[in-house]
């Protein structure tokens, strides 16, 4: 049944990584991304890989879940690799015949560029695998709140995200119900060409939109009758606290950043 | 047409951590021309059960035989079957989508591939069945109607396919007493006049007392009891333990019996209780009381 699909890709187990403050985890993810772009040598990539393995191990998320998150990008990664392999310039020629010319430099560049993509996706996936969507939007709200000075609607943005996430399962359930109701009236969603299939969606989409608007109206009314008036002066149900684990994690991430910067200074241009 | 359910079991999300057994080993037969009521507490599996009867859900195990043929067999045209077994979902007004009431009701017959004249005829028939005036409502937008009218228009959308069996899942939920009464008298008429076999899911015992010729009681996915309303409602203890109840007339009758009134123990309709009470009133030696007491 549609109702039971998992929300986002959150992997609901308990671990030290899951319990980290979402604000900190967001910051860690940003620092990690910076590190991925700063790394220029083999040593740097080994460091990044080691960090990912450590985080994955501590989070109790099976490694295959991380690999699964890479699947949608596999073609982009492969194409990046091939383009860099065939079209980068270099001195040390390995293979050369007809128009194909593969150099050592091109190979390494191709390898590193695709690894960079892999690390970026894996690192951010680890964030969404270990942080529930609600915690994530809480974290985003707080991280964006300094921008309120320039009238950036941080609270409203986070509230919109939370509501949208909350209604995904509800609307899926609704879709399932309307689909069945129309099938009971002889609707056919499965056969026919593209045009007739698109037409067959009308009896599904119209009631779905009508009910989405109705729900939105009801929700707005319910929020207003509970005196919701935006983020100003609003206290939270779950107050986020930075604990010991957060500081330890921050130290590890800081260490990674320092090492990557040092690597950039001393090993620049040294690929192996 | 006959429907036979054999050892039906349904498990949601089988094999995963969140699996739920919604129905287990349910067997019964729907006789031609009967008005079968399915009652059970919220979450007892009633809605899951009716969705099996026209092939929208597939059983985890067991069979549904329509005129002796397995509904989930390989060479069965389920789409055609669904038009012979009409299913009205809970809150069917949320499935309305067309610009006009007539067009919406025509959706089912159109899917059957009927001619425009035939479709028009079906729409008129269906609107007549649900007591919506064709001249007045056919060209109105379904979204302008009142809640009760919307529901009747949605039911007409199923009736327009002229099903020989009509299944309704909580057709009166969320309606005011007048809207409820209209739906019920409409069903009563449909059953009596058009000889449609009706299956109705409800947890209103009073609705069931008024309409059903036979009842199935479902508790936690199992068939707890089946029988005529008289047999079922006489077993008040069983009904209470299933989280249900008995019709108001049964409750009143029982309370009066406990106070020493000479009444049969299986009354469940307000009309028959009234008759017995009037008889007692006359017998109690108060001549002329029937004239004075005509308002009771």
Q: Does the beta carbon of A7 lie under 8 angstroms from any beta carbon of chain B?
A: no
Residue A267 has pLDDT above 80, yes or no: no
Q: What is the residue-averaged pLDDT of chain A?
A: 84
Residue A238 has pLDDT above 80, yes or no: no
Does A186 sit within 8 Å of B108, measured CB to CB? Answer: yes
Residue of B nearest to A178 (CA): B95
pLDDT computed for residue B194 by the predictor: 87
pLDDT computed for residue A270 by the predictor: 57
Does A178 sit within 8 Å of B18, measured CB to CB? Answer: no
Does B82 sit within 8 Å of A183, measured CB to CB? Answer: yes
The Cα angle at residue B200 between residues B195 and B203, in degrees rounded to 5: 150
pLDDT (mean) for A69-85: 87
Q: Which of A88-92, A135-139, A156-160, B129-133 has the lowest mean pLDDT?
A: A88-92
The confidence band for A1, taking pLDDT boundaries of 50, 70 and 90, is very low
Helix (H) or strand (E) holding A94: strand A93-97
Give B51's contacts in chain A (Cβ within 8 Å). 180
pLDDT (mean) for B116-139: 93
pLDDT computed for residue B184 by the predictor: 93
pLDDT computed for residue A74 by the predictor: 87
pLDDT computed for residue B289 by the predictor: 46
Residue B188 has pLDDT above 90, yes or no: yes
Among B residues 135-154, those touching chain A with beta carbons less than 8 Å apart: 143
| Helices H / strands E in chain B, number of each | 13, 10
Contact B62, B48 (CB under 8 A): no
Over the stretch B7-32, which tens digit does the pLDDT of each residue have?
A: 999 988 776 666 788 898 999 999 89
The confidence band for A149, taking pLDDT boundaries of 50, 70 and 90, is confident
The larger pLDDT score, comparing residue A241 to residue B152, is at B152
* Helices of type H across B145-204: 147-159, 177-193
Provide the shortest C-alpha distance from residue A183 to chain B (in Å): 8
Q: Does the beta carbon of A11 lie under 8 angstroms from any beta carbon of chain B?
A: no
Size of interface A-B (CB pairs under 8 A): 66
Q: Does the beta carbon of A237 lie under 8 angstroms from any beta carbon of chain B?
A: no
The confidence band for A222, taking pLDDT boundaries of 50, 70 and 90, is very high
DSSP β-bridge partners for residue B86: B166
pLDDT (mean) for B196-222: 91
Over the stretch B219-252, which tens digit does the pLDDT of each residue have?
A: 988 999 999 998 898 888 888 888 888 888 888 8
Q: Which residue in A2, A5, A184 has the most chain B C-beta atoms within 10 A of its own C-beta, making it the best mutation to test that interface?
A: A184
Q: Does the beta carbon of A71 lie under 8 angstroms from any beta carbon of chain B?
A: no
Provide the shortest C-alpha distance from residue A168 to chain B (in Å): 18
The larger pLDDT score, comparing residue A200 to residue B105, is at B105
Residue A25 has pLDDT above 80, yes or no: yes
pLDDT computed for residue A103 by the predictor: 82
Which residue has tokens 């056969």?
A191
pTM over 0.80: no
Give A1's contacts in chain B (Cβ within 8 Å). 12-13
Does A206 sit within 8 Å of B111, measured CB to CB? Answer: no
Q: Which of A154-168, A258-272, B114-128, B157-171 has the lowest mean pLDDT?
A: A258-272
pLDDT (mean) for A1-22: 69
- Residues near A220 by Cβ (< 8 Å), separated by ≥ 6? none
Percent share of chain B, pLDDT over 70: 95
Q: Does the beta carbon of B79 lie under 8 angstroms from any beta carbon of chain A?
A: yes
Provide the shortest C-alpha distance from residue B58 to chain A (in Å): 12
The confidence band for A232, taking pLDDT boundaries of 50, 70 and 90, is confident
Residues in chain A: 272
DSSP β-bridge partners for residue B215: B37, B227
Residue B186 has pLDDT above 70, yes or no: yes
Residue A26 has pLDDT above 60, yes or no: yes
Kindly write down the DSSP assignment for every residue of B110-140, as one continuous string. Answer: HHTT--HHHHHHHHHHHHHHTT--HHHHTTS
The 3 state secondary structure assigned to B55-99 is CCCCCCEEEEEECCEECCCCCCCHHHHHHHEEEECCCHHHHCCCC
pLDDT (mean) for A125-145: 86
Over the stretch A174-188, which tens digit does the pLDDT of each residue have?
A: 999 999 999 888 888
Question: In a 3-state reduction of DSSP, which class is residue A63?
Answer: helix
Q: Does the beta carbon of B157 lie under 8 angstroms from any beta carbon of chain A?
A: yes
The confidence band for A93, taking pLDDT boundaries of 50, 70 and 90, is confident
pLDDT (mean) for B269-291: 77
Residue A4 has pLDDT above 50, yes or no: no
């Amino acid at each position: 049944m549609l109702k039971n699909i998992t929300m986002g890709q959150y992997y609901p187990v308990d671990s030290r990584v899951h319990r980290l403050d979402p604000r900190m985890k967001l910051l860690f993810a940003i620092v990690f991304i910076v590190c991925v772009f700063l790394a220029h040598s083999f040593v740097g990539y080994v460091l990044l890989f080691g960090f990912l393995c450590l985080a994955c191990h501590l989070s109790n998320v099976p490694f295959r879940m991380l690999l699964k998150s890479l699947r949608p990008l596999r073609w982009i990664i492969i194409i990046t690799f091939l383009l860099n392999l065939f079209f980068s310039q270099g001195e040390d020629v390995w293979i050369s015949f007809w128009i194909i010319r593969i150099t050592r430099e091109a190979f390494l560049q191709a390898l590193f560029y695709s690894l960079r993509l892999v690390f970026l996706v894996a690192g951010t996936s680890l964030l969404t695998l270990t942080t529930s969507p609600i915690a994530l939007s809480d974290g985003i709200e707080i991280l964006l709140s300094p921008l309120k000075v320039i009238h950036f609607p941080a609270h409203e943005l986070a509230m919109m995200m939370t509501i949208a996430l909350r209604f995904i399962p509800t609307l899926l359930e609704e879709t399932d119900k309307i689909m069945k109701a129309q099938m009971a009236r002889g609707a056919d969603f499965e056969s026919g060409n593209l045009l007739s299939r698109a037409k067959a969606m009308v009896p599904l989409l119209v009631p779905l939109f009508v009910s989405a608007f109705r729900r939105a109206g009801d929700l707005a009314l319910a929020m207003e009758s509970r005196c919701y008036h935006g983020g100003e002066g609003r206290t939270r149900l779950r107050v986020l606290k930075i604990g010991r684990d957060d500081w330890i994690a921050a130290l590890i991430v800081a260490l990674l950043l320092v090492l990557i910067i040092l690597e950039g200074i001393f090993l620049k241009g040294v690929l192996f | 047409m006959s429907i036979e359910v054999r050892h039906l079991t349904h498990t949601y999300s089988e094999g995963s951590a969140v699996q739920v057994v919604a129905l287990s080993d349910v067997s019964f037969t729907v006789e031609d021309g009967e008005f079968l009521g399915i009652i059970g507490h919220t979450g007892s599996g009633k809605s899951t059960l009716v969705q099996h009867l026209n092939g929208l859900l597939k059983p985890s195990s067991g069979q549904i035989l329509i005129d002796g043929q397995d509904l989930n067999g390989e060479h069965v045209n389920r789409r055609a079957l669904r038009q012979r077994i009409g299913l009205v979902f809970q809150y069917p007004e949320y499935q309305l989508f067309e610009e006009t009431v007539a067009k919406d009701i025509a959706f089912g017959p159109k899917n059957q591939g009927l001619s425009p004249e035939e479709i028009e005829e079906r729409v008129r028939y269906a609107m007549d069945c649900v007591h919506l005036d064709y001249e007045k409502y056919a060209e109105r937008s379904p979204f302008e109607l009142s809640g009760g009218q919307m529901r009747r228009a949605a039911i007409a959308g199923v009736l327009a396919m002229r099903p020989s069996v009509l299944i309704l899942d909580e057709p009166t939920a969320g309606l005011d007493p007048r809207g409820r009464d209209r739906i019920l008298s409409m069903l009563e008429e449909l059953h009596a006049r058009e000889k449609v076999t009706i299956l109705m899911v409800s947890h209103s015992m009073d609705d069931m007392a008024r309409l059903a010729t036979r009842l199935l009681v479902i508790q936690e996915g199992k068939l707890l009891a089946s029988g005529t309303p008289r047999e079922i409602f006489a077993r008040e203890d069983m009904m209470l333990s299933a989280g249900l109840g008995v019709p108001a007339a049964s409750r009143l009758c029982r309370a009066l019996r406990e106070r020493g009134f000479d009444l049969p123990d299986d009354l469940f309709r307000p009309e028959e209780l009234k008759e017995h009470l009037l008889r007692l009133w006359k017998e109690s030696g108060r001549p002329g009381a029937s004239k004075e007491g005509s308002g009771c």
